[in-house]
Structure 1
Amino acid sequence: MKYFLLLIGLIHFTFVRAQVPSLKHRKPIAVTDWKFSKGVIYNAQSTDFDDGLWKDVKVPHTYSMDAIEDVGYYRGMAWYRNQMVIPKSMEGERVFIRFEGVGQEATVFVNGQKVGKHVGGYSAFCFEITNAVQLGEKNTIVVKVSNAPNFLRIPVDDALFNHYGGIYRAVHIFSTPSCNIAPTFFASSGVFVTLKALERDKANLEVRTHLSSIKSTDNTVLDIKVSDKTKKIVFQKEVIIDKLSSGDSILTTEIEIRNPILWNARKNPHLYTVEVNLINDQQSDKVVETFGVKTFEVDAEKGVVLNGAPYRIYGVAMHQEWKERGPALLPEHHKVDMEMVEEIGATGLRLSHYQHSDITYQKADEMGLMVWTEIPFVHNYSGREGQNAIQQLKELIYQNYNHPSIYAWGLWNEVRAWKSKDEPPVLLTKKLNELAHQIDPSRLTVSASDRGMESNMGNLTDLQAWNKYYGWYYGEYADMGKWLDDARKDYPHIALGISEYGVGGNIYQQDRTKLEKPIGNYFPEPVQTNYHEITWKIIKDRPYVWSSFVWNMFDFSVAGWNRGGIKNLNHKGLVTFDRKVKKDAFYFYKANWSDAPVLHIAEARNSQRTEAITTVKVFTNLEKVTLKLNGKVIQKQKLKSDMHTIVFENIHLQKGENKIEVMSEKGKESFTHKADWFLVMDENNTVN
């Protein structure tokens, strides 16, 4: 009894509703409590290794928070150990362990036996551990992790974002019958839905199911059921498999949906649900996935055509990390991020620069966001990372195949081939492009270039977009318009997209006269706001721009940077790193993109004023706005600007404290925003 109680103290497992839909019907156990230690440790995978002095941690966990807190961070090996009882209820079944993401490499041991190794820090991986576990007894699970540099792995350097180490996404143990829908096929759901033909009154689709069986078996049934958003069954089919061979196999089933409801982005993100149930010998393995029906193309003249109609893709790029947690985010953190993307009114989302958590794609499907997702083939290359890039692309596509929000697979970002078209990244890109179309012929490929319209790496993918930072790293703000117009004139056959645009903005810095761009220590927020006002108008007025993405939705960490007054931070976000403050530029875009009421005083944080006569700028999508100064109505204006901005001019501030208030109404709702400004004057009552 004493041993049993001690064992229970080492165990932390719960039956949960897993984040990943394909696990929900497999009684997943979340493995959250681990022992942890950094460094090269001899024989730490052994069952009798003494980890009594190791630190107790909860997964998701990262050991790289020093990348945020200090200059530089630990890049090396670490170990995680867990001792747990796997329930006897799994007896007679196949047992698996699935990691949603480990940075950047992981070797997994169960009871001292190596069960697999995975290289790549952003995709899920799954190993069968049936022959390694002892059901109803203590099992020792050990993971050796490393985020050390490796030129055989993408990305090869961390110049643009941190390469965090650790088990920073969820871990689950689950079981299936001996005959299952393969969970180890690139850690995917094993079920893939593809649109084959679409007519007004019907959609013909193909459901490809990957099966796995440890023995040959007779009279197996595959039951496929499709339901719409209201849970009404719109298709059902039962397939009899007379003889299912041992090993892996694929079963392709044609289905038809009458009068299909299209997944139409934010206008109507309608999702169908496919339930695939494999039944054999009175046991069943069920996988449930959502999918959407849509058509997508890009025209150099019209831009994006979604379901036969023009559709503008504009929005933000996004990393996955918070100030307090790094990348070790819980579901609620991902939901907060996606709710902000939805709030701002974005129609598109670029997931930079790697595969994101599955919950992000799920929320994008539900919200109707158009998603560009990509592998971490970023910036530099070694010429030796080809096999890993191929592996990570396969994982990205197979694990996210059914998400209708995804319109393109991203193959690279700012990778440069300086010398010729025979350099390794060019040849690799061609391989990746061919592979993407082989796996998924229904989607396009895309890449993000920081070179000119023509380059050795350029235009190898179906779509090309450009990272442009006019007025920050080079040129003037207005050069964005000139570049777009010239490019359209000189290359009329190429569809033009902006994959990144933005400038730094520190909410604690408000004096625009002190700007030190692009790598100085003063990035005033008003400069960032003004940049976006000018640049968005340039993009908005050119409907042929098929996509545009603000860099970035959130401030994020880059270890070793010392810019903009806060170390280790890229300040280009529209929201602060801790998600506590939405910058003025956020409200500018929300007023322009969203239908939700917006009323926001720009530069409200610029509280110390030195000019007695000033302007009050308001971002709004409301019809009329009233301005009050120190409780007195000063002006009323109607919204006339297509940039959703009202400017109250010649506002006379009094010495000392001034209370600014704007008010508006929509129907029966009232809206207000306030600011406190202090006019600083010298002893002679003149402005300092």
Structure 2
Amino acid sequence: MKQIALILSLFVSMTVLSQDALLTNTDGRKNVSLNGKWHYIIDTYETGFYDYRYKERKEDDRSAYWNRNEQKAKTDLIEHTYTDENSLNVPGDWNSQDRQFLHYEGTVWYQREFEKPQLSDNEQVYLYFAGVNYEAHVYLNGKKLGTHKGGFTAFNFKIPTNLLQEKGNFLVVKVDNKRHSDEIPTLNTDWWNYGGITRDVKLVIVPKNPIVQYDIHVDQKQDILASIKKKSFDLSGFVKFDTSADSKIVVEIPELKLKKEFPVKGDSIAFSFKTPNISLWSPENPKLYEVIFTNGKQRISEKIGFRKIEVIGKKIVLNGKQIFMRGISIHEEIAQQIRRAHSLDDAKQLLGWAKDLGCNMVRLAHYPHNENMTRLADEMGLLVWSEIPVYWTIDFGNPEVLKKAEKQLEEMIDRDRNRASIVIWSVGNETPVSEKRTVFMSTLAKKTKLLDNSRLVSAALEVNHKDNKNVIDDPLGAFTDIISVNEYLGWYVGLPNDCETAVWEVKYDKPFFISETGADAKAGFHADKLTRFSEEYQEWYYQEQIDMFSRFPDNFSGLSPWILCDFRSPKRNNPLYQQLWNRKGLIADNGQKKKAFFVLQEFYRKLKASGK
């Protein structure tokens, strides 16, 4: 009950910080898609936002790009307008849709119109964005609904009923993807900064006091093996309303013939109950149950799996059995079309390739991926590492930056807290050790546990190379459930055969996980194995790495090599082999599988055959 009380108090504090709490499971609610063609204006100098004195324009300023600016007389001065000739697809990044956007970082205004959806007297409308990179200012019919920062987390705004028109609702979004030193991520990243409204947009129709969040999972306190033996499980969770309610909530799992009713007084209700034998979710058995939450006429249904992930000693344990994670890292990118991934078909391609490789796990790097990925992982039985973009050298001493990281952490968990596939929340990647950094990162690790104690917490650490040893002694390891490290022995350090004499020291008696390892190769470039960027060098690299893994201590619990597919990066400037691509993919930008793909595939086949 202490943990439940803590969750409820946290939600109370979140309602103070955010006027419009994030709606979970928008596909499970009545909604209207706003995807499709949107008009745009490129605004490098932000003329539509600031006047010539660089002051934010007044709301009713006709020159503001959030307002209509129609010429009613030939003497009217018109300096902006939205036309069909300038259109972009939503969802989608702007970089891949027109060559003028290829390297563009700045402001683009998006605009479209929509009709008011049919509403009953008890209904209201939310405007929901699944992802906008990076800063969004949202206006409807000349009125500002709000702003959001963060390119990879969802957000929504409650639309005042009196603001909606029957027809011709004028929706405008100012999108700005410029990088800044005090943002998350910061200036320096090793991936392409795709700009735009990159994920779905929709109107979500809900009751006047909607259920905004809910959670249901296997209670972490129970002995899962004993529960399996008894064929009886404890489930716990909560339901969070937008405002206080005096009513009841019904939780139903039809397949189990289970229906529980709980009184609601206030804006939150925590619950727990026993259930008969359930089929636990796992990679081998990705079982999902329909779970229904009902409050009066409000009914939300979602497919949810039940499992328990934990660390016992030096082992990662799923449903009472030790697991070895045969993983791969993935960027949210469709390389063949040089664009940000966003659709279900995109997710099927990426996760299908991971399955073909022999994976039971994927690391979704270095930011929360779109919801299609995590929902499909549930269905396919793929364990997921999900991460916020606290990446490299952000401003760890700035408390405002910490608040931004915490907000993205909350938004990541709020959207995906009911995904059985997600077993690891990661608070960052390759952050350099310092006292300020460790305080910053440990704060995030602790907050993750408060937000959700049903998953493991980790971060991708770096290896300390000293005295011919590979030492893992990062102080952040004291705050994570598993010790995850990125190592490139044979690419950035030495040659692949240095793996043969490598000595590893891990300070912590916790599960040990290789979160990255890899080498670049240009697909189709063949040479001897000593030649950098050849497929043979990458193949040799993986062969030596795999041999080294066999000598790792018994707490070695898995790996997610870097990376499934080649991806775009402005940092990669070798004119012959990179050409603005990071070539560490096992699959090339044209979809071709490189030689190293089959080396790792065979390794995973043998691991699976041995029971790992």
Indicate whether the TM-score tops 0.5.
Answer: yes
Q: Contact 1:506 / 1:571 at 8 angstroms: preserved in 2? A: yes
More strand as a share of residues: 1
Q: Which residue of 2 aligns with 1:15?
A: none
Q: Contact 1:62 / 1:168 at 8 angstroms: preserved in 2? A: yes
The answer to whether 1:236 aligns with 2:252 is: no
Partner amino acid for 2:88?
A: V
Please report how far the alpha carbon of residue 428 of structure 1 lies from its aligned counterpart in structure 2 after TM superposition. Answer: 1.1
Question: What does 1:255-294 align with in structure 2 at a 5 Å threshold?
Answer: 255-264=273-282, 266-279=283-296, 283-294=297-308
Please report how far the alpha carbon of residue 179 of structure 1 lies from its aligned counterpart in structure 2 after TM superposition. Answer: 2.6
Distance change (3 Å), C-alpha of 1:328 and 1:534 = closer
Q: Contact 1:345 / 1:595 at 8 angstroms: preserved in 2? A: no
| Secondary structure at 2:538 match in 1 | helix
Please report how far the alpha carbon of residue 478 of structure 1 lies from its aligned counterpart in structure 2 after TM superposition. Answer: 4.1
Please report how far the alpha carbon of residue 299 of structure 1 lies from its aligned counterpart in structure 2 after TM superposition. Answer: 3.5
1:74 to 99, 104, 124: 104
Residues 98-153 of structure 1 show CA distances to partners (whole Å, capped at 9, x for unaligned) of: 11111111111111111111100101111111336424221011110111122332
Taking the aligned partners of 1:365 and 1:253, their CA distance within structure 2 comes to 24
Q: Which residue of 1 aligns with 2:31?
A: 27
Residues 10-68 of structure 1 show CA distances to partners (whole Å, capped at 9, x for unaligned) of: xxxxxxxxx9844333133343221012212421111346212761122112123499x
Count residues in correspondence. Answer: 542
Q: Contact 2:365 / 2:387 at 8 angstroms: preserved in 1? A: yes
Taking the aligned partners of 2:129 and 2:306, their CA distance within structure 1 comes to 26
Q: Which residue of 2 aligns with 1:508?
A: 524
The answer to whether 1:202 aligns with 2:232 is: yes
Q: Which residue of 1 aligns with 2:412?
A: 396
Q: Which residue of 1 aligns with 2:361?
A: 348
Partner amino acid for 1:310?
A: Q
1:38 to 24, 28, 42: 42
Taking the aligned partners of 1:217 and 1:209, their CA distance within structure 2 comes to 11
Q: Contact 2:564 / 2:585 at 8 angstroms: preserved in 1? A: yes
| Higher mean C-alpha displacement, 547-556 vs 287-296 | 287-296
Q: Which residue of 2 aligns with 1:528?
A: 538
Taking the aligned partners of 1:478 and 1:77, their CA distance within structure 2 comes to 48
Taking the aligned partners of 1:326 and 1:90, their CA distance within structure 2 comes to 40
Partner amino acid for 1:83?
A: E
| Higher mean C-alpha displacement, 342-351 vs 47-56 | 47-56
2:594 to 579, 583, 604: 583
Question: What does 1:145-156 align with in structure 2 at a 5 Å threshold?
Answer: 145-156=175-186
The answer to whether 1:250 aligns with 2:268 is: yes
Q: Contact 1:176 / 1:285 at 8 angstroms: preserved in 2? A: no
The answer to whether 1:64 aligns with 2:71 is: no
Q: Contact 1:296 / 1:306 at 8 angstroms: preserved in 2? A: yes
1:476 to 495, 504, 509: 495
Taking the aligned partners of 1:90 and 1:133, their CA distance within structure 2 comes to 16
Please report how far the alpha carbon of residue 174 of structure 1 lies from its aligned counterpart in structure 2 after TM superposition. Answer: 1.6
Q: Contact 2:525 / 2:534 at 8 angstroms: preserved in 1? A: yes
Taking the aligned partners of 1:592 and 1:132, their CA distance within structure 2 comes to 61
Question: What does 1:644-683 align with in structure 2 at a 5 Å threshold?
Answer: none
Taking the aligned partners of 1:89 and 1:239, their CA distance within structure 2 comes to 28
Question: What does 1:310-459 align with in structure 2 at a 5 Å threshold?
Answer: 310-323=322-335, 324-382=337-395, 383-384=397-398, 385-417=401-433, 420-421=434-435, 423=436, 425-452=437-464, 453-455=472-474, 457-459=476-478
Distance change (3 Å), C-alpha of 1:296 and 1:101 = same
Q: Contact 2:188 / 2:392 at 8 angstroms: preserved in 1? A: no
Q: Contact 1:72 / 1:560 at 8 angstroms: preserved in 2? A: no
| Secondary structure at 2:493 match in 1 | coil
Q: Which residue of 1 aligns with 2:75?
A: none
1:558 to 566, 569, 585: 569
Q: Which residue of 1 aligns with 2:509?
A: 493
Please report how far the alpha carbon of residue 332 of structure 1 lies from its aligned counterpart in structure 2 after TM superposition. Answer: 0.6
Q: Which residue of 1 aligns with 2:484?
A: 465
Q: Which residue of 2 aligns with 1:546?
A: 557
Distance change (3 Å), C-alpha of 1:71 and 1:448 = farther
Taking the aligned partners of 1:378 and 1:223, their CA distance within structure 2 comes to 42
| Secondary structure at 2:393 match in 1 | coil
Question: What does 1:90-109 align with in structure 2 at a 5 Å threshold?
Answer: 92-109=122-139
Distance change (3 Å), C-alpha of 1:46 and 1:194 = farther
Please report how far the alpha carbon of residue 217 of structure 1 lies from its aligned counterpart in structure 2 after TM superposition. Answer: 6.4
| Secondary structure at 2:219 match in 1 | strand
| Secondary structure at 2:333 match in 1 | coil
Taking the aligned partners of 2:475 and 2:194, their CA distance within structure 1 comes to 31
Taking the aligned partners of 1:328 and 1:83, their CA distance within structure 2 comes to 25
The answer to whether 1:113 aligns with 2:153 is: no
| Higher mean C-alpha displacement, 361-370 vs 384-393 | 361-370
Residues 533-583 of structure 1 show CA distances to partners (whole Å, capped at 9, x for unaligned) of: 2212322454531121110001011014223523110000011124x2122
Taking the aligned partners of 1:532 and 1:345, their CA distance within structure 2 comes to 15
The structure number with the bigger radius of gyration is: 1
Taking the aligned partners of 1:217 and 1:354, their CA distance within structure 2 comes to 35
Distance change (3 Å), C-alpha of 1:336 and 1:90 = farther
Q: Contact 2:24 / 2:414 at 8 angstroms: preserved in 1? A: no
Please report how far the alpha carbon of residue 442 of structure 1 lies from its aligned counterpart in structure 2 after TM superposition. Answer: 2.1
Q: Contact 2:500 / 2:544 at 8 angstroms: preserved in 1? A: no
| Secondary structure at 1:269 match in 2 | coil
| Secondary structure at 2:580 match in 1 | strand
Distance change (3 Å), C-alpha of 1:398 and 1:91 = same
| Secondary structure at 1:28 match in 2 | strand
| Secondary structure at 1:107 match in 2 | strand
1:134 to 164, 172, 182: 164
Taking the aligned partners of 2:116 and 2:606, their CA distance within structure 1 comes to 50
Question: What does 1:567-606 align with in structure 2 at a 5 Å threshold?
Answer: 567-578=579-590, 580-594=591-605
Taking the aligned partners of 1:36 and 1:70, their CA distance within structure 2 comes to 13
Partner amino acid for 2:392?
A: H
Please report how far the alpha carbon of residue 494 of structure 1 lies from its aligned counterpart in structure 2 after TM superposition. Answer: 4.2
Please report how far the alpha carbon of residue 392 of structure 1 lies from its aligned counterpart in structure 2 after TM superposition. Answer: 0.6
Q: Contact 1:59 / 1:169 at 8 angstroms: preserved in 2? A: yes
| Higher mean C-alpha displacement, 401-410 vs 128-137 | 128-137
Distance change (3 Å), C-alpha of 1:428 and 1:58 = same
| Secondary structure at 2:587 match in 1 | coil
| Secondary structure at 2:161 match in 1 | coil
TM-score normalised to the size of structure 2? 0.82
Distance change (3 Å), C-alpha of 1:481 and 1:460 = farther
Q: Please, what is the CA RMSD of the aligned residues?
A: 2.8
Residues 400-448 of structure 1 show CA distances to partners (whole Å, capped at 9, x for unaligned) of: 111122222111111113xx42x2x222112111111111122221111
Taking the aligned partners of 2:607 and 2:346, their CA distance within structure 1 comes to 23
The unaligned stretches of length 5 or more in structure 1 are 1-18, 183-188, 517-522, 598-620, 622-641, 643-688
Q: Which residue of 2 aligns with 1:639?
A: none
Partner amino acid for 2:572?
A: W
Taking the aligned partners of 1:552 and 1:106, their CA distance within structure 2 comes to 30
Residues 137-190 of structure 1 show CA distances to partners (whole Å, capped at 9, x for unaligned) of: 2101111011112233211023311222100111111211213112xxxxxx44
Taking the aligned partners of 1:583 and 1:148, their CA distance within structure 2 comes to 35
Over the matched positions of the two proteins, sequence identity in percent amounts to 24
Distance change (3 Å), C-alpha of 1:90 and 1:475 = farther
Question: What does 1:629-640 align with in structure 2 at a 5 Å threshold?
Answer: none
Distance change (3 Å), C-alpha of 1:130 and 1:291 = farther
Q: Contact 1:22 / 1:288 at 8 angstroms: preserved in 2? A: no
Q: Contact 1:269 / 1:365 at 8 angstroms: preserved in 2? A: yes
The answer to whether 1:223 aligns with 2:223 is: no
| Secondary structure at 1:581 match in 2 | coil
